[in-house]
Each structure stands twice: as C-alpha cells, then as structure tokens.
Structure 1
Amino acid sequence: MRVVLADDHDLVRSGIKALLQMVPGVEVIAEARNGRELVTLVEDLQPDVVMTDISMPEMDGISAIGEIHSRHPGVRMLVLSMYDTVDFVKRAVAHGACGYLMKDAPPFELEQAIRSVMATGSYFSPAIAQRLLQPSEPTADDELTHRQVEILKLIAQGRASKEIAFELGLSPKTVDVHRARIMERLQLNDIASLTLYAVRKGLVKP
C-alpha cells in the first residue's frame, strides 16, 4: 500500500510515518505540509491511500480531499485529526473521505484503519462512529455559500477587504457586501465573532 501523508507539523508527520513504516506492506512514498502540496503529490504519484490532517495552511485538508476525490476517485482518503465533532466528520465524508481517525488513537488503530480502508472501503474509530449517531449542528457549508466560506476564512485570518478582493479577483465593495451578508446570515455583529465562528467550524486554526 503506497501512502501519501499530509500534516503541517513536521514532528507529528515524522511520528505517524515511523508508525506506518512498522506496518508490513505499507510504504510512505511522499509527505506534504499543506493541502496544495498534497493535491500535487497525489496527481504525480497516484498513491493507494492518502492520510491527511484537516487544519493545514494554503489549502485545508477537507478542500484537498474534495479536489483529490474529484480527480482520483479511486484513491482512499483517511483523515487523521484532533477534531472529533460531528460536523467535521460529516464534512470530510461529504468531500470524499472514507475514514476518520483521531490523533490520540492508540498506535495499533493506525494499522487497523489503513487496512480497513483498503479492504472494505471505510474506517471510523469507535468514538467517531458513536458521535456520528448524535445530531449535528449545521456546518459552515450548510449555512454559507462556497464564496462566503472563502471570504470568511480570509476575514478570520485578519485580511483586509482590499487584500481579500485582490486574492479572489473581486472588488473591495463586493467583499464588503459578502461580509455584510455573512454577518446577517450568521447573526453575528463583529469581526471577532466571525473569527470565533470560523475557528469553531474548523475553517482556520485557533
């Protein structure tokens, strides 16, 4: 099983790689520090499995999963994350993930997860499976349009309207209109509240 591993923390990635190298028949063929790099590596190397974190710079793990799934539906994608809320899991699955594993899982579960996604097409740890049975609150994708989610991420990163407009190819006035609509839809009144919302939904790192 050829695996591409993605996590923006070098130490975490090294630890996961070391554990995977102890699993017979598993080879880590490449590593990525962000979602954009992950998409490129998968395009070039065509691995069997992608194991990725969610919160990464440049492109988050869920966006990367969605892009990879649309181009390479046969690649199995396993999320390895510290986020265990139902909306994170459901967003990952909706974008194409076939498994979800917590970073605090015991080491043996890593082998169990990767073998399961290859053999049966899915793996969800017992804790995650139990959470999936609970009702979930709406995700950012449920509450906002794709463009609004893009703008909200940049607002939460402290970008000014002009910067956001330049990055997304919009006018500053259009960005301001989107921001007003986001605030109205979410019933939030200031940038600090928008930022807290973005962190809670996993759109940006705390």
Structure 2
Amino acid sequence: MKPDSTQRPIRVVLADDHDLVRSGIKALLSMIDGVQVVAEARDGQELIQLVESLEPDVVMTDISMPRMDGIAAIAHIHARQPKVRLLVLSMYDTVDFVKRAVANGACGYLMKDAPPFELEQAVRSVMATGSYFSPTIAQRLLQPSEPTIDDELTTRQIEILKLIAQGRASKEIAFELGLSPKTVDVHRARIMERLRLNDIASLTLYAVRKGLVKP
C-alpha cells in the first residue's frame, strides 16, 4: 500500500564513510514512495551538524566512521533530539553492537547485506511503531551474549584502547586526551589485565572485533 501523496515525506539523513556504499543506499531509499534523502554525512560529527540544522525524521547511520563513530553520534543526537528515529545500518551483527546501539538511543538495526525491500520495512516501521530489528538481529538478541565492551572496560579505557589499536604511542595518546604518559601506561596495563591479553597485537584484534577500529 502506497502512502498518501499529500502526506509530508519521511525525511532521511544518511551517514556512511564509504561514498559508493552511501550512494547505493541513497539510490534505494530514493525509490521508496514518500521517502526523501535530504542530506548525507561521511562521519559522526558531520551527521550531528546536519541533524541539528535539518531536523530529519530518520537518521540511518553506519557504526564505524572516522572522527566520531556512529554510536557516539547516536548518543549525541538522541540526547538533544529524542524525536529523531535513529536506525543503524551496519555490517556488524554481534549482540554487543546491537545492545550498545540501543543503549545509546538507536531504535532499529539493519544489516548491510539485507535485501533492498528491508530498507523500506525499516524506515516505515521506525516511523509507525518506533522500532525495527531485522530478522537476523532479532535472532541474535535471543542468543546468550558475551560481555559487552561496556561491561569489560570503562569509557576512558575504551578511548585509550581505540587509540592504541590505531597504532598511537603513549605520548600521543596522553597529548590527545590531556593525560600524562604514565597515566596512559597504567590504563593500558589495566586494560590488558581486565581483558586477559598480553600484547598490543591482541588488543588490536580485540578492538577490531568489537568495532572500535576498522580491520
């Protein structure tokens, strides 16, 4: 059933750091009656700025993006504009990602390999009912989950782990976060102890698996 042509279109802001992926998703969304992509962002900071200026109905965002990731952007937008429907479109299907997204304000989660018709289902569902989770994600949520990264590490430790995984030295991390190099080293030791990991390579693999950095 097509929407009434007199109704106001559902205005969407789309965020993904890959231009080709974003263009493909935009093309699919533009084919849906009553849906209008009003802006595109390449990272979380740009997304926040666009949402503040355009006040869309729906935000569809990837998780892993430069400068500010999708989870942080979702949290920021949800705190300031709670009426905006925040829908994650991601390649990550672990319960950890889904729960982090929802805890920060996402109302839906869709996989990037989902069939195109699911895009319309997701957009219409979050507008009509306030939520949408693809069948794959719903199934994951029913399975026992491993501890999330928020269960295992503090916010500061997550920040430091992300920078370690990007290959940054203690002095660089200290400068960026306004800490002393010694404090960074203490945090790194505590992260290793808490995660039971013994080297930087293992920390990096953990950060990739949790989606803090891209492979």
Confirm or deny a common fold (TM above 0.5): yes
Aligned residue identity for 1:78: L
Question: Are 1:186 and 2:187 an aligned pair?
Answer: no
Larger Rg: 2
Q: TM-score, normalised by structure 1?
A: 0.98
Question: Are 1:8 and 2:17 an aligned pair?
Answer: yes
Over the aligned positions, Cα root-mean-square deviation in angstroms equals 0.7
Tell me what 1:122 maps to. 131
Aligned residue identity for 1:15: G
In structure 1, runs of 5+ residues without a counterpart are none
Q: TM-score, normalised by structure 2?
A: 0.94
Q: Report how many residues are paired.
A: 206
Tell me what 2:152 maps to. 143
In structure 2, C-alpha distance between the alignment counterparts of 1:114 and 1:139, rounded to whole Å:
27
In structure 2, C-alpha distance between the alignment counterparts of 1:170 and 1:45, rounded to whole Å:
37
Tell me what 1:42 maps to. 51
In structure 2, C-alpha distance between the alignment counterparts of 1:14 and 1:116, rounded to whole Å:
23
Question: Are 1:22 and 2:31 an aligned pair?
Answer: yes
Aligned residue identity for 2:33: P
Tell me what 1:205 maps to. 214
Residue by residue over 1:64-119, the C-alpha shift from the partner in whole angstroms, topping out at 9 and shown as x without a partner, is 11111111111100000111111111111111100011111111110010000000
Tell me what 2:169 maps to. 160
In structure 2, C-alpha distance between the alignment counterparts of 1:105 and 1:75, rounded to whole Å:
23
Post-superposition offset of 1:132: 0.5
Equivalent position to 2:142, from 133, 146, 149: 133
Runs of 4+ with deviation above 2 angstroms: none
> Per the alignment, in what secondary structure is the counterpart of residue 204 of structure 2?
helix
